[in-house]
Structure 1
Amino acid sequence: MALTDSHCHLNFPGLRERLDDILSAMDANGVTRAMNICTQIEEFDDVLASAVQHPQIWATVGVHPDQEGLTEPDVSQLAELASHPRVLALGETGLDYFRLEGRTPADMEWQRHRFRAHIQAARQVGKPLVIHTRSAADDTLSILREEGAEVVGGVFHCFTETWDVAKQALDLGFYISLSGILTFKNANDLREIAKKLPEDRILIETDSPYLAPTPFRGQTNQPAYTRFVARCLAQLRGGTEEAVEQYTERNFDRLFMRLDGKFQ
């Protein structure tokens, strides 16, 4: 058995201080890989170090769209950091208009500028994007199109948008990643979307330490719980956990490891 947690934050409080236990739990649950996602340049060294020290961990580089007042890397800096062989993607990046705090979307040009820089760097190094979008799907999709992001592809992580947004992302060549939210009682719309997604475009994740799946709601999430996302997905789509393992692993390899040469 083998599963990959395509999106987690192993350097966040609640996980980083017990990494050995986290890795042991992954092994016990057949989770053989985890992608440690960078959310600010200030943490990149730690994110990368975990990937260098542990073969089951991979890294990304990026600045989360909701992070303000931190180092703002330009395209060349992002491309240089992303060139490390243990870095598989740029992100997480995108747009987040959920917490405007009295501002309007028009005031968030700094987010859009940052997003464009990540896409341009991804194109420069030929690596995919990890997309975060919240209350900003139209602008997110528009910028991806304008910047030619379909050349490198990527994933809409922790997907909670509409089927229309999913279709547009798929049309751009992007993948859709499903998290523990899939198991939540109030996630009926997301479960219907999960049933419709093409098998060759689905990834799974935990977004640890957040969003622990049922039956661990309210607890600190961890990559080992990818198993419960896979189980729920199998039940929804009328297949087996083994089938989910096979196609999500194949999809991760295709997108992030470039094993089929699609984006070369």
Structure 2
Amino acid sequence: MPESKLGGVNLNLLFPSIDAGSCSMTPEELAARHPRLHHVTTPGAWTSISKLGLLSTSALLAVFEVEDARRVELTTKRRAAEVRLEHSVHDIAILNDNLPLSERALACCLDGGLLPGDWLRLLNTRVFFWPSIDSLARLLSAKMNRKRSREVLTFDTLGLVRAHAERVEISPINSGSTIRKSARRGADTLTPLLTQSYADWRRKRGGRDHVLEVIVRDGIPDISQYLVGIRTVEPPDFDSFGATPGKPPERFQPDYAC
């Protein structure tokens, strides 16, 4: 495998190639624990996503032919607001902001010699899903979302992960947030699905952690195949997700189901 470096860090050492073996977590095991995956974006984004696929920021910038200097800025710096992209053929796409992330806080919680720009670039080569209604509800009820509409795209975990298992990763933290006490993060935070069983993954993390994010590297061009439903959430609709302190959220009901 050719050596790949980012900010002087060998990415092959951080994210080695996958050897599934006989003790890997299967798509069936992940889907049994988390049958639905949720992606949060700006209202109306599905129009573009359904045509191009659910692409990482880096992939989307390439498709929209954004100039190199601007690509570097958008993938290595915190985005304080959503970014609108326009293209003569692909029309419009919106990049999500990085409001929950502080570069100063990020610098204090990175391991393995990573710098904030390194971590941001890694995040921008991936797409992210919330695997539980509880974590989704917390995001929607966060201060930054209380005065703006959000679109929640819900997908079938089993179909999506079966098709893209070799590029699927799991994370025990919100990898794009440094709010409150920032969790440490580094080489072992984004774990390729097929490298170990769920039991081994939890054991290595002291038996405490659960899957908080499901991640796919690069993007999912055939994302429409796995769509279960779409819901536009208007403030303060997050209450309908059952985000009541001390009470598990109720089942999520999309406005539009496939």
User: What's the TM-score, normalizing by structure 2?
Assistant: 0.27
- Select the structure with the greater relative contact order (CA < 8 A; seq sep ≥ 6): 2
User: What's the TM-score, normalizing by structure 1?
Assistant: 0.27
**Greater helix share, structure number:** 1
Name the larger-Rg structure.
2
**Greater strand share, structure number:** 2
